[in-house]
């Protein structure tokens, strides 16, 4: 019902994009069947070709849609106390792994897209952009949390942590480890990697990593 075509996005469009995301989460990018998406969205297959010219178009639109979902979680980091800032990094990362249908759905889709991008480089570009943004976000949070950390160091740490989230997510999603265990591993790693980064005492004979 209703027709706001030009305006934002008709309800059916949204339904289709959500259906596609669900299908991708259910059986992967390569397992996504156009007919299944149509059925899931409760529309006819032809409609998908009317709006998105072909399967690739639907996929591209869905990718963008997922990207938007994922990156809209950007949080406001200003107006946080020192204690909170330290916890900010942790929350930002831990939020990617929890027992929440939407989080899991997006995570599966994201995981799939990354796996597919190895074989189809047209997927790689938007993906790498979003990944880079994520890294920057985390790096900022790290700098904000501990003042002794340089931008470069924070950047490397952020890359490590976001990669780790993806690695742990893989095992979590395939049911090899529980949500709690995944979060435990992540927490441990965050603690270890974000404290005493540079030449802070600790081992005396530390190799001079300060760069």
Residue 170 lies near a second copy (rule: CB under 8 A): yes
Residue 72 lies near DNA (rule: CB under 7 A): no
Residue 173 lies near a second copy (rule: CB under 8 A): yes
Which residue lies nearer to a second copy by CB, 106 or 111? 111
Residue 44 lies near DNA (rule: CB under 7 A): yes
Beta carbon of residue 59, minimum distance to DNA (angstroms, whole number): 9
Among 18, 26, 28, 55, binds DNA (CB under 7 A): 55
Residue 192 lies near a second copy (rule: CB under 8 A): yes
Beta carbon of residue 41, minimum distance to a second copy (angstroms, whole number): 20
Residue 39 burial (CB count, 10 A)? 14
188, 185, 189, 198: which is closest to 159 by C-alpha?
Answer: 189
Residue 49 lies near DNA (rule: CB under 7 A): yes
Residue 104 lies near DNA (rule: CB under 7 A): no
Residue 95 burial (CB count, 10 A)? 13
Can you state the percent helix, strand and coil of the chain, rounding each to 5?
70, 0, 30
- Which residues make Cβ contacts (< 8 Å) with residue 92, sequence separation at least 6? 75, 137, 138, 141
Residue 101 lies near a second copy (rule: CB under 8 A): no
b/e 51-80 (16+ beta carbons within 10 angstroms → b): bbeeeeebbebbbebbbebbeeeeeebeeb
167 binds, among a second copy, DNA, none (CB under 5 to 8 A by kind): a second copy
Residue 203 lies near a second copy (rule: CB under 8 A): yes
Among 17, 19, 24, 32, binds DNA (CB under 7 A): 32
Beta carbon of residue 177, minimum distance to a second copy (angstroms, whole number): 8
* CA–CA gap between residue 20 and residue 87 (Å, rounded): 35
CA atoms within 13 A on the CB side of 73: 20
Residue 100 lies near a second copy (rule: CB under 8 A): no
Candidates 10-18, 40-48, 59-67, 173-181; binding stretch for a second copy (CB under 8 A): 173-181
């Amino acid at each position: 019902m209703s027709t706001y075509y030009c305006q934002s996005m008709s309800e059916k469009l949204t339904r289709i994009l959500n259906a596609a995301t669900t299908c991708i989460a259910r059986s992967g990018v390569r397992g996504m069947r156009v007919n299944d998406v149509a059925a899931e969205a409760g529309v006819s297959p032809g409609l998908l070709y009317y709006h998105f010219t072909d399967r690739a178009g639907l996929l591209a639109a869905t990718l963008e849609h997922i990207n938007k979902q994922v990156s809209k979680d950007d949080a406001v980091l200003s107006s946080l106390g020192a204690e909170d800032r330290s916890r900010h990094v942790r929350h930002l990362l831990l939020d990617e792994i929890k027992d929440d249908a939407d989080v899991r759905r997006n995570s599966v889709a994201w995981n799939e897209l990354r796996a597919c991008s190895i074989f189809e480089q047209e997927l790689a570009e938007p993906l790498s952009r979003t990944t880079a943004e994520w890294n920057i976000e985390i790096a900022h949070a790290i700098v904000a949390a501990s003042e002794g950390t340089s931008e470069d160091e924070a950047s490397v740490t952020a890359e490590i942590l976001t990669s780790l989230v993806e690695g742990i997510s893989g095992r979590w999603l395939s049911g090899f480890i529980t949500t709690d265990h995944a979060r435990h591993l992540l927490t441990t790693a965050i603690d270890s990697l974000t404290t005493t980064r540079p030449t802070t005492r600790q081992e005396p004979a530390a190799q001079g990593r300060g760069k």
